[in-house]
Structure 1
Amino acid sequence: MEHASLVVDWRERCESTRTQIEDRGLRRLIGYQLRRAEMAMQQRFSLAIGVPFQLRQVEFFALSLLAENPAVTHKQISEALAIAPSNMVGIMSGLKARDLVARRANPADGRSLFWVLTEAGRDLVQRAGAAVARMEEDALGRAEPERDELVRALNEVWAGDPLRPAYVRDMSAG
Structure 2
Amino acid sequence: MMTQQRAASFKGNPITLVGPELAVGDSAPDFTVSKNLVEQASLKDYAGKIKLISVVPSLDTGVCDAQTRRFNEEAAGLGDHVIILTISADLPFAQARWCGASGVDRVVTLSDHKDMSFGQAYGVLIKEFRLDMRSIFVIDANDKITYVEYLQEMTEHPNYEQAVEAVKALL
Please, what TM-score do these two structures have when normalized by structure 1? 0.28
Greater relative contact order structure (CA < 8 Å, 6+ sep) = 2
Which is helix-richer, 1 or 2? 1
Please, what TM-score do these two structures have when normalized by structure 2? 0.28
Which is strand-richer, 1 or 2? 2
